[in-house]
Structure 1
Amino acid sequence: MNFKRTITSLFFLFVLSQAFPQHVISWKFSLQDKGNGEIELIADATIQQGWHMYDSKIPDNGPYPTSLNFDEIKGAEAVGDFNATGKQATVKYDPVFQMNIGTFDNSARFIQRIKVTDKGSFLITGDVRAQACDDKSCTPPLPNEFSFTSADLPKT
């Protein structure tokens, strides 16, 4: 009986794991010195061919926007908003949400400016969440975690 239950549970876990495509967006996080005690947290996204991800600025009742969440921030404070930088999002009408929505294909870069207030105690941890879709399905906005300490601060 236990063996049958275990096999059934494993089967359902496998089915659920196949329901959502894995690794559609890969993330790389880094810090860059901007002078005057400010740095940028850079979140570079590489998006799988055939998929797109959403901008950080999405109208209400739209898909899940790309977002940054801090779990812990010490010796620093966020300055401004988490935004895309570099190439502009492609804005087009989405019939599912019945609105114009900004999306990125292939790659995107997002930044968050940060004022360092104490280099010795500097610590930021958190995650970026983004929803990706193709013409058949969408991924849930799962967390992609980052963590930086004073040892990771750019040399100025």
Structure 2
Amino acid sequence: MKKLILFTAVILSALAAHSQILKPVTWSYAAKKTSATEATVFIKATIDDGWHLYSQTVKEGGPVKTTFTFPASSAYTLVGKTIEPKSISRYEETFSMNVNFFEKSAVFQQKIKLKGKNAVVKGTVEFMTCDDKQCLPPEQINFSVPVK
């Protein structure tokens, strides 16, 4: 009986070690003051080889588009919309439509107007990633970027 329990524990440990959670996109953040009252927040997605991250401009009926949400703040106001780099556009059979996406990396930029000397820009990014075999469920990541 002890051998059976030990054998089962070894098999379960091996299975747990073999299965891993896929996280093909990692996010990093920075901010740079462009004047005494303005700054740009940089939000960088680093994307694993073979995967892609969808643009903010995906049309209805396609994958979940990348969306940035910034709650109201007394320390700053947003200036315009979040800017994204040039995306790749391609027809995807899965969605039966052309979609815009990024591979390898993408740096998004959000300009802000400061109401004081310093601020902490908080927000959320919702995104979806796919490779040529699968799409992962959409994720939401909270972020916080100090502006000094």
Deviation at 1:96, TM superposition (A): 2.0
State the partner residue of 1:58: 58
Work out the percentage of aligned pairs sharing the same amino acid: 29
Instruction: Return structure 1 stretches of 4+ with deviation > 3 angstroms.
Output: none
C-alpha distance in structure 2 between counterparts of 1:36 and 1:123, whole Å: 15
User: 1:34-73 deviations in whole A, cap 9, x for unaligned?
Assistant: 2262111111111011111111111122211111112452
Matched, 1:106 2:100: no
Give aligned pairs, total: 133
Q: Is the 8 Å Cα contact of residues 75 and 120 (structure 2) preserved in structure 1?
A: yes
Gaps of 5+ in 1: 1-10
Q: Is the 8 Å Cα contact of residues 78 and 113 (structure 1) preserved in structure 2?
A: yes
State the partner residue of 2:120: 123
Deviation at 1:116, TM superposition (A): 0.8
User: 1:87-122 deviations in whole A, cap 9, x for unaligned?
Assistant: x211111122222111111111111111111235x3
State the partner residue of 1:144: 141
Deviates more, 1:45-54 or 1:76-85: 76-85
C-alpha distance in structure 1 between counterparts of 2:22 and 2:71, whole Å: 24
State the partner residue of 1:5: none
Max Rg structure: 2
Deviation at 1:21, TM superposition (A): 4.5
C-alpha distance in structure 2 between counterparts of 1:119 and 1:146, whole Å: 20
Gaps of 5+ in 2: 1-11
Q: Is the 8 Å Cα contact of residues 72 and 124 (structure 1) preserved in structure 2?
A: no
* C-alpha distance 72-125 of structure 1, shift in aligned 2 (>3 A): farther
State the secondary structure of the residue aligned to 1:73.
coil
Provide the TM-score with structure 1 as the length reference: 0.75
The Cα RMSD (Å) is: 2.3
| AA matched with 1:153 | V
State the partner residue of 2:147: 153
